């Protein structure tokens, strides 16, 4: 059983879905947990269910906000040894109707947010010669999907960031990895299902079938499966695993 009792994890986008599942799994392993998100209500609600957790409002697209998050988290719970850049968002539209504002929004939250989170976490980790940086990317960082070109581009960027940073800090005791889930049972997935229903007139069952058919197992990924992958990457047994983009997708990508 992985023991993280000596660790402090910061998780962005920690109020719902995958972020909340990661917070619970790391907390169950003994870690101190700082949950971050733009909305205080959800992160506070999750923090209240965990024995050693705090919630700090943060906008990952804002440099000062991210830096303040890590400073406040460390002041309360000690040095951050695990950073999980999970905050993200997805919008869909045909490429020809995708404007620059939509492109910028997807880059800001999915890629710039990941960069700012890693940068804020890295300094103390390098000094300590130990740490884990984990990006929650997507199979959209490993392949293409129609109607979400900016999202795919941003997630491909996260995978590239993972690989470059991992090599740069390999001798500093810090590992850097990306976890790439397929369609996962989260509020973000439900938004996609609702969007399909509204645009195509299909019922929910048909919309779900359309999204799940790309998974060879014929199902959606569960948030807990993503969280368990993160837990393993935080373990001592994964200390030689770095620079990887690990697909959690039922075989959709290989």
Residue positions annotated with a catalytic role: 151
Q: Are 67 and 119 in contact (CB under 8 A)?
A: no
Number of Cβ within 10 Å of residue 251's Cβ equals 11
Count the alpha carbons within 13 Å of 239 in the hemisphere toward its beta carbon.
Answer: 9
Residue 43, both tokens: 């992160």
What is the C-alpha separation between 51 and 70, in angstroms, rounded?
20
Helix (H, G, I), strand (E, B) or coil at 138: coil
What is the C-alpha separation between 60 and 114, in angstroms, rounded?
8
φ, ψ dihedrals at 131, nearest 5°: 160, 165
Q: Are 232 and 2 in contact (CB under 8 A)?
A: yes
**What is the CA 73 to chain-centroid distance, rounded?**
18
Q: In which residue are the tokens 């059983």 written?
A: 1
Residue 202, both tokens: 């299909």
């Amino acid at each position: 059983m992985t023991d993280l009792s000596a660790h402090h994890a910061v998780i962005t986008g920690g109020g719902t879905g995958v972020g909340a599942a990661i917070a619970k799994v790391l907390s169950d392993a003994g870690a101190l947990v700082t949950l971050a998100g733009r909305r205080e209500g959800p992160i506070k609600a999750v923090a209240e269910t965990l024995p050693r957790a705090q919630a700090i409002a943060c906008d990952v697209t804002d440099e000062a906000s991210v830096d303040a998050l890590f400073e406040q988290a460390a002041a309360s719970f000690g040095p951050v040894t695990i950073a999980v850049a999970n905050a993200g968002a997805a919008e869909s539209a045909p490429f020809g109707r995708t404007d620059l504002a939509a492109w910028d929004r997807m880059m800001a939250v999915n890629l710039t947010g990941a960069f700012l989170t890693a940068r804020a976490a890295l300094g103390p980790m390098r000094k300590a010669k130990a740490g884990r940086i984990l990006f929650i990317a997507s199979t959209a960082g490993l392949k293409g999907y129609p109607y979400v070109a900016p999202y795919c581009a941003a997630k491909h960027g996260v995978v590239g960031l993972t690989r470059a940073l991992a090599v740069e800090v390999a001798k500093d005791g810090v590992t850097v990895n990306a976890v790439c889930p397929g369609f996962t049972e989260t509020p973000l997935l439900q938004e996609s299902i609702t969007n399909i229903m509204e645009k195509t007139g299909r019922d929910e069952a048909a919309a779900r079938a359309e999204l799940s058919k790309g998974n060879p197992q014929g199902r959606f990924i569960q948030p807990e499966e993503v969280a368990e992958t993160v837990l393993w990457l935080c373990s001592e047994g994964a200390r030689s695993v770095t620079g990887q983009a690990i697909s959690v997708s039922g075989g959709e990508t290989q």
